Structure 1
Amino acid sequence: MKIQLLLITTFYLISGPVYCLDVTGFPGGHVIIDFKHKINWRSTVYFCKLKPGHQCERIIEARGTELIRDGHKGKFTLIFSDQSLTLIIRTLRVEDTGLYQVGEHSVWNQDINLKLNRDPCCSEMKSVAGSLGQNVTISCSYPEEFERNIKSFYKQNNRSLTEIISTSETDPHQDDRFSISDDVRNKVFSVNINDVREDDGGVYFCAVVKDETEIISHSLFTTIHLQTTEAAQFTTKNPDVPSDTPEPAGFSIATITIIISTTVCVCVALLLVGGFLLIFKIRRNMIQGSAAMNQRSEANNMTSDYENETPQIQNIRMQLVYQNLNTNTNQFDSVYQSLDTNTNQLDSVYQSLDGNIN
């Protein structure tokens, strides 16, 4: 009997568990795995990564709410709730791919093959603004292989991840303000939020769900930062923030609007001042040029008048008196000449005074 039990145990350890379940994640996203095994909270549960040679490197070991081992500082989380066990793997990277094992000592274990889907549709980060009291719609694209899977929408609060709504008909998380629809043809599902409130702001994730025999896996992708503002508008800002950061970084929409308005006002003021200075300079140059032209015109007029003016000859009457002394009569003979300027002729008058005649 002991020999048979030893052989069965040895065969089990060599062959491993019957099922190795595939779980798909996305770079930068998270994976949430719900195990369907009933868990005794007093028992010890472990999570390890399988290495060559059937060695399993322990990552987490816990007993109820007591964490015995955590080798990755919060990247991997085990959660006990109502005799159920949930495993969370955060911020997936290429080196996280591989075979893992989860189990309860001496009770059960389950192998998991973690793969990464690098579809470009599911590794982006979005920033969306929702106006308070209005409606906002968030769209999530997904790969074709998940077109028949359940779609869900998660919100991150600190380090916890809460499912808000899903396309499952038995979804217990339905909220009257949230609605979801799936466009299978275009591979897009949309979440609509009515009457946006301030506390709706935060980090959200799109997700697809696979329901297997032993587990239910939720693959979270496309990080969405929802900002609640007074005026709703979509932004193109892509903040470089880790996917597990609870609040988006960067300026708010109101701050960006104020900065843009201030910049526009300063530019307009500078343009107006430059325009006034230019007009003033042009007018000053025009006035100076006009004055110079007037001075040159006056100078030219004076020169022209001087050149064209016909000289006026005043009436000049010249009298020349020639006196000759007549030695016989002891008298002077006088000769008078007058120039008539009007006729340009000379009139001559000769008079002789004879002393004898008087």
Structure 2
Amino acid sequence: MIFLFSVVVGAPVEVTGHTGESLNIRCTYKSGYESNPKYLCKGACIYGNRIIMVKAGSPAEDQRFSLSDDTTARVFTVTITDLRAADAGQYWCGVESTVTDVYSEILVLVKQAEPSYFSTTETNPQSSSITVTDQNKSTDLVPVAGGLGSVLLVLVLCSGTFLILKKRKRKSGTALDQQNVPHNTEVGDQIFTCRASEIIVH
């Protein structure tokens, strides 16, 4: 309830803010009041016992409150910084007049600020970097495995070739021993010459 001989304009307006943030209260007034002093009081705003939070041209007791007047738009704005839960409640936008002050009712609602989450976004780059490291390790093993396979293949081929040549050498040696048994001197010389030529050819 405001003091006697006052004028209340319009219906109550609700304004909602969050703790720790700034809140703007916009108060409109009619033409002809551009040069009149403006203020914001809290509570019943009874004459003689008004709690004026901020008034144009005067420093506010609570430095979180400030007032600016746009006479062209006929709107004065009260800004509350670092909003607190205790700031919630009923306020009155007041315009001084020679006869009766003009008021408009404001209801301020204060909500708790929503918590912000930063730890989740910080852990994501670490997990992705671990995945990349594991992929690099697995890809580095591919050329190593390929090189070992090539070496083993060469060793197998060399071993097989060596065994085949060794078997052929044994067979050729046995055949020479059987055919070099002499029946007479002439035949033996001929056989020796023949086999020697074969060995040279091979």
User: Could you state the TM-score of these two structures normalised by the residue count of structure 2?
Assistant: 0.49
- Structure that is richer in helix per residue: 2
- Structure that is richer in strand per residue: 1
